[in-house]
């Protein structure tokens, strides 16, 4: 819990973020980020496709507070769509509305995301609108609903930790959705806190959407959940073209390949771009064991988590001071 809070706090430190951008994909981030530009990202996607793993590409960026930056992000995401099509890659895109100006003005953000979804529709590319923190969720879901009145190539994410998750799943029952446990450090009034309670609700949501929904993306690295889904789809004769397993790029690579070899649809979430710091810190926050990505870079011998955290904090601190 302390580690989760530490990394969640680090994720929002602007000085550390600036230092991280300046010094590139250091501290192990290159293992879980698909490069800093679209060419590198497409290469990673093609390598995944060879293993029969699809990708959802995310041009990194969030909590944008400058209109120009939001418009640049929109243009970059439209270019990602073109690159997917040119490369004939098995991929779709995931976008965050706070990257497209949600914190500035809702109509401005809507226009930006609409342009993206419209462009994607002409190229037959699907768009998932990621679920972000609870403050932005209600308006995000309203925007998705508005877009779905016009386009059928857009869906969103249901976070199982939310008390309201079953209602959200029902609301988006008729569209393709991704179901996750939930990644943000939220207040107890909004989310379940007990991992067991989250897991129970997560399984209920997955089962509901597998039985009543269209296409379900089950986004987890959790063996227990994955094994449960395998049994559930077998018992209910749910065909493999109705669902996929999604995992983050660089995580549980062998499991991803194994599932693909077993004949399941597998999709890796491939984030790329310069703005990787917040994403990386969130991954460390939700699973401090991911610190091994850092320690593998820094130490040849096995080391303990406390030492690793001290080392990374020291290095991040140095990077900040050097700026």
What percentage of the chain's residues is helix, strand, coil (to nearest 5)? 55, 15, 30
Pick the catalytic residue from 176, 178, 199, 275.
Answer: 178
Q: Is 4 annotated as a binding residue?
A: no
**Identity of the residue, 101 or 182, whose beta carbon is nearer to ligand FAD in the bound complex:** 182
Q: Which of 44, 114, 130, 199 is catalytic?
A: 130
Element (H, E) at 52: none
* 130 belongs to the catalytic site: yes
Q: Is 75 a catalytic residue?
A: no
| 20 vs 131, beta carbon nearer ligand FAD | 131
> Binding site annotation covers 242?
no
Q: How far is the CB of 252 from ligand FAD (least distance, A)?
A: 5
Flag whether 220 is marked binding. yes
Minimum CB distance to ligand FAD, residue 54 (Å): 11
For residue 272, what is the enclosing H or E element? strand 266-272
| DSSP assignments along 97-113, one per residue | GGGGTTTT-HHHHHHHH
**CA-to-CA separations, 15 to 11, 41, 196, in angstroms, rounded:** 10, 26, 36
Q: Which residue, 31 or 242, has its beta carbon nearer to ligand FAD? A: 31
Q: What is the dihedral of CA 312, 131, 271, 106, to 10 degrees?
A: -110
Q: Which residue has the tokens 């994720």?
A: 11
Structure tokens at 57: 């590409």
Applying CB under 6 A, the residues found at the interface with ligand FAD are 130-131, 157, 159, 180-184, 219-223, 246-248, 251-252, 269, 286-287
- With respect to ligand FAD, which residue has the nearer C-beta, 94 or 312? 94
Residues in the annotated binding site for FAD:
159, 181-183, 220-221
Known binding residues are 96, 159, 181-183, 220-221, 282-283
Catalytic positions are 130, 178
């Amino acid at each position: 819990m302390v580690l989760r809070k530490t990394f969640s706090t680090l994720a929002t430190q602007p000085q550390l973020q600036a230092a991280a951008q300046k010094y590139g994909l250091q501290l192990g981030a290159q293992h879980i980020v698909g490069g800093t530009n679209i060419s590198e990202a497409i290469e990673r996607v093609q390598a995944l496709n060879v293993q029969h793993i699809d990708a959802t590409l995310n041009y990194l960026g969030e909590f944008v507070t400058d209109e120009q930056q939001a418009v640049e992000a929109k243009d970059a995401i439209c270019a990602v769509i073109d690159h997917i099509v040119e490369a004939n890659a098995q991929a779709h895109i995931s976008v965050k509305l706070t990257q497209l100006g949600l914190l500035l003005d809702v109509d401005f953000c809507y226009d930006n995301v609409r342009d993206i979804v419209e462009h994607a529709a002409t190229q037959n590319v699907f768009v998932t609108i990621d679920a972000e923190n609870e403050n932005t969720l209600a308006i995000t879901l309203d925007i998705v609903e508005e877009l779905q009145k016009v386009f059928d190539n857009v869906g969103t994410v249901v976070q199982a930790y939310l008390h309201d998750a079953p209602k959200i799943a029902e609301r988006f029952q008729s569209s393709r959705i991704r179901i996750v446990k939930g990644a943000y450090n939220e207040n107890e009034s909004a989310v379940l806190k007990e991992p067991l309670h989250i897991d129970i609700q997560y399984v209920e949501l997955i089962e509901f959407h597998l039985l009543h929904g269209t296409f379900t993306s089950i986004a987890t690295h959790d063996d227990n959940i994955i094994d449960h889904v395998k049994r559930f789809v077998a018992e209910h004769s749910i065909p493999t073209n109705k669902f996929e397993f999604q995992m983050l790029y660089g995580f549980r690579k062998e499991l991803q390949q194994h599932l693909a070899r077993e004949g399941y649809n597998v999709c890796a979430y491939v984030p790329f771009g310069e703005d990787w710091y917040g994403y990386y810190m969130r991954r460390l926050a939700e699973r401090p064991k991911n610190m091994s990505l850092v320690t593998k870079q820094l130490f040849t011998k096995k080391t303990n988590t406390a030492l690793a955290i001290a080392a990374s904090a020291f290095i991040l601190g140095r990077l900040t001071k050097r700026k």
